[in-house]
Structure 1
Amino acid sequence: MERSEKLTRIVIVDDEELALDYMKRLLGKLQGIHIAGAFTNPFVAKDYILLDDIDLAFLDVRLPEISGIELANQILEHKPHIQIVFVTAYDKYAIQAFELNALDYLLKPVTTERLIKTMNRILKREDQAASIPEDQPSLLHLQVFQHVVFTLADQQPTVLQWRTKKTQELFLYLLQNHDQWVRKSALIELLWPEYEEDKAYSLLYTAAYYIRKSIAPYHSFLDISNTNGGYILHTQNVLLDTERWESLLASAPQMNKESIHYYVKMMELYKGDYLQEYDFWWVESERQRLHKMWLSTSLKMAEWYRGNSQAEEAVSIYEGICSRHPQAEEAYWGLMKIYADMNKKNLVNKWYGLLSSVLWEELHEKPSEQITNWFIEWQMAHA
C-alpha cells in the first residue's frame, strides 16, 4: 500500500468488542497508520477525538444511545477536517455517509482488500490536501503553564524578550484579564505604587508602548486598546493552554476503563503550574486554583489505578504529586498503602519517613492523625 510520510492517526468506534478487535487486527496489518484509540462507548470516543490529534475515525453506524451518523455530525462540527469512514452491515446508510462528507463506507464483514482500497483513497486525499492552503484562520497557541511561549502553526515556539520586568508583568496581568477593561489607576496601584502620580502614569504609558512593540508580530491575534481611563487586551483566535485544559476537565467523562486515556492525555497538557517561573504576587490565587484542580484530578486518577490493580501507574502518579506538591499527604499515604499491599515494608517506612520530614521541615507539623494511626496499626500487624 502506498503511503505518505505522515503517519495517519486512527480511532475506531464499535459497540461490539469482537467487531472492534477484528478491525484492530485488520488495520494493524497495514503500514503508515497508528491506532490511537479503540472504543465501545461513543461518548468517550468523541471526547478523546476532540482532545487528541486524530486524522481518521472508523465509526460503526449502529451505536448505543447515539447513531454513528449523529456522532460524526458532532465531531465534524468541532473538527471539520477529520475524515470519517462508516462501518455498517446496511448499505442504505451509504447515502447519509457521503452527505456528511464521509470518505468512504465499509460493509461488514470488512475484507483486507476493501480496507486497503479505502486507506489508499485516504492517503491520496491527504497528499492533495497538503498542497492546498487552508482558508481557516490560524490560531495563536499561548502557553502559560510554567512559562510563556507563543506558537503559530508551522513556526518554532517563541519566548518574547521584554524590555523590563514591569513591561512583562503588565502584559501578563492584562493577559490574565484578557478582553476585560482594567483601570489605569488599578494598574498603577499594582505596579508602581511607590511613585508620584505623574511619574507612575508615564511609566505605565511607556510599558504599554513596549508591549505593543513586542506583540506586533501577533497583531492579528493580540491588540491593546486605550479607552475610558483603562486598557483592554483584545484576543482573537488565541488558544490559552490553561483555558483549554480547564474546559477539557470540566467536560471530562466519568472515569472508567475507557475514559482513563482521556484523563492521561488531558493531564499531559498541564506542563507546570500557572506562570510557575514568575513571582508576581497577583498570580498566586489563580495558580493555586488551577493547582488544586490538578491535584484533585491526579489523586482521583491514582486511586482509580490503585483500585483497578494497576499499581505501577498509580505509583507513577503519586510520586509525581509528591515531587510537585511535597505537602500532599494523600499521595504519600497512597504510596504507603500500595507498598503495604505488596508487603514491601521498607518502602512503607520510607514514604512515611519522607512525609514526616517534609511536614516538619516546612510546616513544623506531624502527619495527620488518620495517617499516623494507620501507620502504627500497620507496624503492629507486621511486627
Structure 2
Amino acid sequence: MMRAIVVDDERLVAEQIDRMLVNAGVKVLGRCVNPHEALGMAKALQPDVLFLDIEMPELSGLEIAQQVYADKLDTEVVFITAYNQYAIDAFRVNALDYLLKPVMEEDLQRSLERIEKRRQHRGAVSSGGQRMVNVELFGKFALRLEDSPDPIRWVTSKCAELLAYMLLQTLEKEISKWELFEALWPALNEEKAGINLRSTVSRINKTLRDYGAGMTLASVRNGYRLVLSDEAPTVDAAELELFVLDGVEPDTDNVSHVEQLFHRCSQPFLQEFDSAWCEPYRKQYRQYFLHLGKKLLIYYEKTDAEPFKALRLADLLVEHEPYDESLREAALKLHHRTGGTASAAAYYEAYADLINTELGALPGVRLTALLRGITD
C-alpha cells in the first residue's frame, strides 16, 4: 500500500486531501499545517509521497522539497497550489507532479498512478543494480539501457537535444548557462532562455532518475555539468573518435568490431536536430567516419577480402564523399573485379557525367589512366 503525508497550512484543504487519499486506497501516515514540522515528519516516517502546499508562511513547499532531495529521502513530491504559475518551479526541484486547487479526484488519481509506476520501475532497477547505458548520436539520438529493447522516451525534443549536447562535452565539464542559451535557445532573451533551460534540465533529470540511468545534470555556479554515478555510458561518437585519434589499425583481431562501428556510424550525425551548434560536430565526425572507412577499405585490399563486400564499402564511402578520386579509384578496381571491363567503364562514365553536370569538370588524370589500363 502506498504511504503519504499531507502538508498544507489550510487545515480544511489538508483534511480534504487526506480523505481523498484514503478513499483511493492510500495510507496517510500524517498531515500537518505547520511547514516547519513537515521535514521532520518526512524524515521520521519515510513516506512514498509527500503532498506539499507551495504557498505557506515562513517556509514554502519549494524549500521543503529542495531539502527532501538534498537529504536523499526516497520520497516523491507532489505540489498543491492555487496558481498555475508555479509549474516551472515545481519541475525545477524535480517534483513528480503538481495539483491545482481545488484538487479534483481525477487529477489526484493521475498523480497516484504516476507515483506507482515510478515505484515499480525503481524496484526493478534496485534489484538489478545500475543499468548499463548506450548512447547513439549517429542517426536519431537514442539513449538505451542494456536490458530494454526500446530507447528512453523524452518529454520534449529539447530534452533530447540538451542531453546530446552535454554528452558531446568532456565528461563532467562545467558548461555555462550562456553557452547553452546560445546553442539551444539563441532567439530568446536571457530570462526566457533561463526558464526554458531550467525546465528542460528538470525534465531530463526526472526521466534519467525514472529509468535508473545513473547520470544527472547538476547545477554548478553559472551552468551545469553531467554527473555520472558510476560507469560512463558507451557513446558511439566517442568510440569512433577514440579509434581514429589513437591510430588503431584494423586487423584480424578487431576487424569485426571495426565493421560494426563503421556501419553504426554511417547514419547522419544528430539527424533529428537542426540547430546551428550541430554543424561543427557533423563536419568533425564525418571526417572521423570517412577516415575509419578508408582504413577498413585499405585492410580489405591488403587481405584480398571478398570483392563484393569491399565494393559495398567503397560505394558507401563514395555516397558520403562523391568527389574523392582515391575512393573512386578503389571502387573502379572493384567494379572491374566483380563485373569486368564493361562494369568499370560504365562506372567511370557515370562519374564523368556527375562531375561534368555538377562541377563542370573532368575526371582526374590518375582515374582516367586507371580506366585505360584496365580496358586496354
Alpha-carbon offset, residue 134 of structure 1 = 9.5
Give the residue type in structure 2 aligned to 1:152: L
Counterpart for residue 25 of structure 1: none
Does 256-265 or 222-231 show the bigger shift?
A: 256-265
Counterpart for residue 162 of structure 2: 170
Counterpart for residue 228 of structure 2: 235
Superposition pairs for residues 271-290 of structure 1, below 5 Å?
272-290=267-285
Quote the Cα distance in structure 1 between the aligned partners of 2:196 and 2:218. Answer: 17
Q: 3-state SS of the aligned residue for 2:277?
A: helix
Quote the Cα distance in structure 2 between the aligned partners of 1:216 and 1:363. Answer: 52
Counterpart for residue 204 of structure 1: 197
Given the alignment, which residue of 148, 166, 184 partners 1:155?
A: 148
Q: Deviations over 1:339-374 (max 9, x none)?
A: 445682221122223323444555554433432444
Structure 2 residues without counterparts, runs of 5 or longer: 1-125
Q: 3-state SS of the aligned residue for 1:304?
A: helix
Given the alignment, which residue of 167, 180, 200 partners 2:173?
A: 180
Alpha-carbon offset, residue 181 of structure 1 = 0.9
Indicate if the aligned counterparts of 1:249 and 1:266 stay in contact, CA closer than 8 A: no
Alpha-carbon offset, residue 183 of structure 1 = 1.0
Counterpart for residue 330 of structure 1: 326
Counterpart for residue 115 of structure 1: none
Indicate if the aligned counterparts of 1:274 and 1:287 stay in contact, CA closer than 8 A: yes
C-alpha distance 360-302 of structure 1, shift in aligned 2 (>3 A): same
Counterpart for residue 91 of structure 2: none
Given the alignment, which residue of 172, 181, 206 partners 1:213?
A: 206
The two structures have a TM-score, normalised by structure 2, of: 0.56
Alpha-carbon offset, residue 185 of structure 1 = 1.4
Quote the Cα distance in structure 1 between the aligned partners of 2:329 and 2:342. Answer: 14
C-alpha distance 192-268 of structure 1, shift in aligned 2 (>3 A): closer
C-alpha distance 293-316 of structure 1, shift in aligned 2 (>3 A): same
RMSD over equivalenced CA pairs, Å: 3.2
Alpha-carbon offset, residue 219 of structure 1 = 4.9
Alpha-carbon offset, residue 188 of structure 1 = 1.6
Indicate if the aligned counterparts of 1:146 and 1:273 stay in contact, CA closer than 8 A: yes
Superposition pairs for residues 223-372 of structure 1, below 5 Å?
223-236=216-229, 237=231, 238-248=233-243, 254-256=249-251, 260-270=255-265, 272-310=267-305, 311-340=307-336, 344-360=340-356, 362-363=358-359, 365-372=361-368
Alpha-carbon offset, residue 322 of structure 1 = 2.5
Alpha-carbon offset, residue 137 of structure 1 = 4.3
C-alpha distance 151-220 of structure 1, shift in aligned 2 (>3 A): closer
Quote the Cα distance in structure 2 between the aligned partners of 1:296 and 1:199. Answer: 42
Q: 3-state SS of the aligned residue for 1:180?
A: coil
Q: 3-state SS of the aligned residue for 1:231?
A: strand
Give the residue type in structure 2 aligned to 1:330: S
Give the residue type in structure 2 aligned to 1:241: D
Could you tell me the percent identity over the aligned residues? 18
Indicate if the aligned counterparts of 1:302 and 1:315 stay in contact, CA closer than 8 A: no
Give the residue type in structure 2 aligned to 1:155: S
Give the residue type in structure 1 aligned to 2:296: M
- The total of aligned residue pairs comes to 247
C-alpha distance 218-329 of structure 1, shift in aligned 2 (>3 A): farther
Structure 1 residues without counterparts, runs of 5 or longer: 1-132
Counterpart for residue 99 of structure 1: none
Quote the Cα distance in structure 2 between the aligned partners of 1:373 and 1:260. Answer: 32
Indicate if the aligned counterparts of 1:171 and 1:211 stay in contact, CA closer than 8 A: yes
Q: 3-state SS of the aligned residue for 1:156?
A: coil
Q: 3-state SS of the aligned residue for 1:201?
A: helix
Give the residue type in structure 2 aligned to 1:138: R
Quote the Cα distance in structure 2 between the aligned partners of 1:255 and 1:134. Answer: 40
